[in-house]
Amino acid sequence: MCFPPVGSVASPHHIRHVATLQSLRILLSMLQRRLIAFLILLVGTGVGWYVYSSEYSGSRPFKLGLDLSGGTQLVYRANLSAIGKADVGDSMASLRDTIERRVNLFGVSEPIVQTQHAGTLVGQSEERLIVELPGVTDTQKAIDLIGQTPVLEFRLLKGDSPPSDISTSTVNQYFESASITGKDLKSAQIQFNQSVGGLANEPVVLLTFNANGTRIFANLTKENVGRHFGMFLDGVPISVPVINEPIPDGQAVISGNFTPEGAKELARNLNYGALPVPIELISTQTVAGTLGEEAVLDGVMAGVWGVIAVILFMMFWYRLPGFLAAIALLVYIVAVLLLFKLIPVTLTATGIAAFILSIGMAVDANILIFERTREELQEGNKNMRDAIHDGFARAWPSIRDSNISSMITAVILFWFGTSLIKGFALVFGIGVLVSMLTAISVSRTFLMALGIEAKTGLVRFLFGSGTHI
């Protein structure tokens, strides 16, 4: 584009040409923003329909916590006195896997088994195991599913033959501790002997050790051929076979005229009694299914009425921007609910409270933006488009800092909190992060899509707040 020399006067034709290009650029920019706003509305509507339909049809329902779905929660304390600090993590992971296998064996629907470090809360180093059993409201039944403190131990007989009356009080008298423990056992399964040396179709139990157990068991069997190898569950012997030969591959076969039922029982005891550390039940919590349904209904109704109240306030106080903020708020809600389904997030009563709180945070960001925009309209001679742009720019540092502070709080709560606190922190953190994105992108897109330039009396009223015009 060529401009006339300095000191010369531009022709009317040239001025009209420049103005036309500027108007065309503004028009294209406005059309682009309106297209993006329409796409946001379209996608938001689709996401909202998916959230509703997937919940109604049951294809992808929300994952509800124990306090909402009903069931039993058991909290165990792990005894790590015999475990080195370096092995605590592996021992707790093995404990969690063992308990989870045991619960799954009884067909409990979607149990939740997780470990928790409670040292920060109770004032001492303490590892806990939390077991949530949805649908199980009988506390004693839940305890029976898990077992109290079953611990699998391996011991070597001190003498030549085991006594007939072995009890928990006389174990140490007749047996000495072996170098291998229950955490080294990978699995035990029943098989039927087909070898020439045994009876045809004789039931036997095949033991498979992990890598560490294979190494220890190889040395143990090599040095103790001919000795009795006792297996104890809670100090009670469940099998005392003889080591016939060295076993270097970590797979041992226990035989001895088993009946199929006896071999199955032994395999089950070995599999589901092989806890790497003792556990102690310290608390129980039972929630009836009806109470859970009431909690869900109350939480949903509280959220609905809260959102309605916020929307009405925003529309009354901030008028047109408040109406657009209400639409952005609905987009934010369906986006967060979609994330809850996809991750998935286990929703509890505290999680619902965190979600409602995050809605307030989303509204707070819009309030900052609108107040800054109103100030730009009152203080300068800017058109509407520039005032909205500068209002967002001025509000962004405050929105950024407040949300970062909230995210830091959520991370700290998640890192040091218990299971309920972690649920609150996770939901709150997701809500704050999404609210920051929707306030900056969605609300701004809607406002800029209006394409308002002149500051007429009607425009000033629509963009006012409260009693301000």
Question: Which pLDDT tens digit goes with each residue over 138-188?
Answer: 777 777 767 654 577 888 988 777 777 776 667 778 888 888 877 788 888
pLDDT of residue 149: 47
Task: Round to whole Å and give the CA distance between 88 and 277.
Answer: 10
Greater pLDDT, 87 or 396: 396
Q: Which two tokens stand for residue 237?
A: 């012997």
Most confident of 24-33, 56-65, 325-334, 460-469: 325-334
Greater pLDDT, 9 or 262: 262
Whole-number CA gyration radius for the chain = 34
Q: What percent of the chain has pLDDT over 90?
A: 10
- Domain 71-149+280-285 annotated CATH 3.40.50: no
pLDDT of residue 1: 47
Could you tell me the residue ranges of all domains in the chain?
A: 26-65+288-462, 71-149+280-285, 152-274
Query: Same fold for the domain at 26-65+288-462 and the one at 71-149+280-285?
Result: no
Mention every residue, 6+ apart, whose C-beta is less than 8 A from residue 446: 37, 40, 324, 327, 328
CATH numeric code, 152-274: 3.30.1360.200
pTM of the model: 0.62
Name which CATH class applies to 26-65+288-462: mainly alpha
Q: Quote the mean pLDDT of the chain.
A: 79
Question: Which pLDDT tens digit goes with each residue over 193-235?
Answer: 765 455 567 888 999 998 888 999 999 999 999 998 988 876 7
Write the secondary structure of the chain as one string of H (helix), E (strand) and C (coil): CCCCCCCCCCCHHHHHHHHHHHHHHHHHHHHHHHHHHHHHHHHHHHHHHHHHHHHHHCCCCCEECHHHHCEEEEEEEECCCCCCHHHHHHHHHHHHHHHHHHHHHCCCCCCEEEEEECHHHHCCCCEEEEEEEECCCCHHHHHHHHCCCCCEEEEEECCCCCCCCCCCCCHHHHEEEEEEEHHHEEEEEEEEECCCCCCCCEEEEEEEECHHHHHHHHHHHHHCCCCEEEEEECCEEEECCECCCCCCCCEEEECCCCCHHHHHHHHHHHHHCCCCCCEEEEEEEEECHHHHHHHHHHHHHHHHHHHHHHHHHHHHHHHHHHHHHHHHHHHHHHHHHHHHHHCCCEECHHHHHHHHHHHHHHHHHHHHHHHHHHHHHHHCCCCHHHHHHHHHHHHHHHHHHHHHHHHHHHHHHHHHCCHHHHHHHHHHHHHHHHHHHHHHHHHHHHHHHCCCCCCCHHHHHHCCCCCCC
Question: Which pLDDT tens digit goes with each residue over 12-68?
Answer: 555 565 557 666 776 777 788 888 888 989 999 999 999 989 888 878 888 887 777
Question: Which pLDDT tens digit goes with each residue over 264-304?
Answer: 878 877 876 666 677 888 888 887 766 667 777 887 888 88
